[in-house]
């Protein structure tokens, strides 16, 4: 018996465990310190009433012989796929329900999609970015190149024709930087992928935060994307489903490589290896997309974006360089006085009892930067910014 040796090449997931170890050590020395956490990317507002009503109704259905459901379609129930299709149609993106696959989280689908792609593809991952793209490709032994973000490109790396990548990850709005690609910028990536016969894996998990009407929510708003891109999206951040779990992945019927349709392979993969999302959860997700659910979840997004504004206003007043926070729940700031990410982490923890996420945890290009999240409580975010201002 031999193990998958590639797993030995994956870096330890130190980031959040190191953060909690440092907080623990600080609290031991300073018991009762009032620490404000602006580090974790989880939501804090509860499910909205339209969703909990639909969940309760679905539970009752499951308790009645006439409405009980057993094994469901692994790719999702028609009612939810149609609701997702209608949501895309509102933005002028036409999809067929069979191009939409319901999943239990964008993380699982992003990771599992690699099952149907050759391990001899070269991968391009933005730096800094959500660490799952890199780790899952190391686990499967692919060669990974980095597209470097920096202040000069506002942490939105653009294609370089001299770099030969087959799988291209894009995350917009980006975690951790909160930067959002424009139509023109995404068009350049679509052109690059089309020319190379490559595939874009587009992560739209934070699309609900895009407020600027000139910015795209979906890669499918870009002409040509249907034949070179897959899109992953989630109810996690748009409707607080991080503990409920539901997402969707769009694989267009035009996506074909070597004469094989990716949608067909993905369906085969999912029907074999994935159990599907529970009926009750899918009813809750469909309620997110109802007019009532849309109005209620929009209010939640507005609440978080208001926190983001509190953070942005403070950083601007203090002349701190940052991006994000306008069309994303993340604010990516430069550590002051040339400090590295962990030095700044310690300073904030010790002098202001504030916790954020060191940028170095999202890739080497994140060193010297720091991520603050807007997912907290309004009053606590204000208090946090008073402390930062004072510091």
**What are the residues binding ligand PLP (CB under 6 A)?**
41, 105-107, 130, 171, 175, 203, 205, 234, 236, 242, 247
- Closer by beta carbon to ligand PLP, 117 or else 385: 117
Between 175 and 282, CB nearer to ligand PLP: 175
Q: How far apart are CA 301 and CA 323, in angstroms?
A: 18
> Which one, 113 or 385, has the nearer CB to ligand PLP?
113
Closer residue to ligand PLP in complex, CB, 247/282? 247
Q: Which two tokens stand for residue 350?
A: 């010790």
- Letter string b/e over residues 82-116, b meaning 16 or more CB atoms within 10 A of that residue's CB: ebbbebbeeeebebebebbbbbbbbbbbbbbbbeb
C-alpha 220/C-alpha 235 separation (Å) is 18
CB of 124 to ligand PLP, least distance (A): 16
Cβ of residue 258: shortest distance to ligand PLP, in angstroms?
28
3 state SS of 171: strand
* CB of 216 or CB of 388, closer to ligand PLP: 216
Least separation, in Å, of the C-beta of 106 and ligand PLP?
4
At closest approach, how far in Å is the CB of 130 from ligand PLP? 4
Of 51 and 385, CB closest to ligand PLP: 51
Q: Could you give the CA distance from residue 299 to residue 304 in angstroms, rounded to a whole number?
A: 9
Residue 132 CB, nearest approach to ligand PLP (Å): 7
Find the shortest distance in angstroms from Cβ 128 to ligand PLP: 11
Task: Give the other-Cβ count within 10 Å of 299's Cβ.
Answer: 11
Indicate the residue among 18 and 242 with the shorter CB distance to ligand PLP: 242
- Residue 363: strand, helix, or coil: coil
44: enclosing H helix or E strand:
none
Which CB sits closer to ligand PLP, 57 or 139? Answer: 139
CB of 293 to ligand PLP, least distance (A): 17
Q: How far is the CB of 92 from ligand PLP (least distance, A)?
A: 24
Which residue bears the tokens 């507002």?
Answer: 45
Of residues 111 and 116, the one with the C-beta less far from ligand PLP: 111
Nearest residue to ligand PLP, by Cβ distance, number only: 105
The 369-373 sheet, strands edge to edge? 322-324, 330-334, 369-373, 357-358
Q: Which strands sit side by side in the sheet containing 247-251, from one edge to the other?
A: 100-103, 247-251, 229-234, 199-203, 167-171, 122-127, 143-148
Look-up of token digits 């730096």: 127
CB of residue 238 vs ligand PLP: minimum separation in angstroms? Answer: 10
DSSP string for residues in 89-143: HHTT----GGGEEEES-HHHHHHHGGGGS-TTSEEEEEES--THHHHHHHHTT-E
For residue 356, give the 3-state DSSP assignment. coil
Question: Cα separation of 384 and 348, whole Å?
Answer: 10
């Amino acid at each position: 018996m031999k193990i998958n040796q590639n797993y030995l090449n994956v870096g330890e997931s130190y980031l959040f465990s190191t953060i909690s170890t440092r907080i623990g050590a600080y609290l031991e020395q300073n018991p009762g310190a009032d620490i404000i956490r602006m580090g974790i990317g989880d939501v804090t507002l509860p499910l909205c009433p339209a969703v909990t009503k639909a969940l309760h109704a679905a539970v009752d259905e499951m308790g009645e012989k006439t409405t009980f459901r057993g094994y469901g379609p692994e790719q999702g129930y028609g009612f939810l796929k149609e609701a997702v299709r209608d949501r895309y149609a509102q933005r002028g993106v036409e999809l067929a329900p069979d191009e939409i696959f319901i999943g239990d989280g964008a993380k699982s689908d992003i990771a599992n999609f690699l099952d149907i792609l050759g391990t001899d593809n070269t991968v391009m991952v933005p730096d800094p970015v959500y660490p799952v793209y890199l780790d899952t490709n190391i686990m499967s032994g692919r060669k990974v190149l980095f597209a470097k973000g920096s202040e000069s490109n506002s942490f939105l790396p653009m294609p370089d024709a001299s770099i030969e990548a087959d799988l291209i990850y894009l995350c917009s709005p980006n975690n951790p930087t909160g930067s959002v690609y424009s139509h023109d910028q995404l068009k350049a990536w679509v052109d690059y992928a089309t020319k190379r016969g490559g595939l874009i894996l587009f992560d739209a998990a934070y699309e609900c935060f895009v407020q600027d009407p000139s910015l795209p929510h979906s890669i499918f708003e870009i002409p040509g994307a249907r034949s070179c891109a897959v899109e992953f999206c989630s109810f996690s951040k748009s409707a607080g489903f991080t503990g409920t779990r539901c997402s969707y992945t769009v694989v267009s019927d035009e996506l074909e490589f070597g004469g094989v349709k990716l949608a067909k392979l993905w369906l085969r993969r999912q029907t074999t290896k994935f159990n599907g999302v529970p009926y009750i959860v899918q009813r809750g997700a469909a309620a997110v997309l109802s007019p009532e659910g849309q109005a209620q979840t929009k209010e939640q997004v507005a609440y978080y974006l208001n926190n983001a504004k509190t953070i942005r206003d403070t950083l601007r007043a203090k002349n701190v360089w940052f991006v994000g926070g306008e069309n994303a729940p993340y604010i990516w700031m430069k550590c002051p006085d040339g400090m590295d990410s962990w030095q700044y982490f310690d300073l904030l923890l010790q002098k202001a009892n504030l916790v954020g996420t060191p940028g170095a945890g999202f890739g080497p290009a994140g060193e010297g930067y720091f991520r603050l999240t807007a997912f907290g409580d309004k009053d606590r975010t204000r208090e946090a910014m008073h402390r930062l201002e004072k510091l």
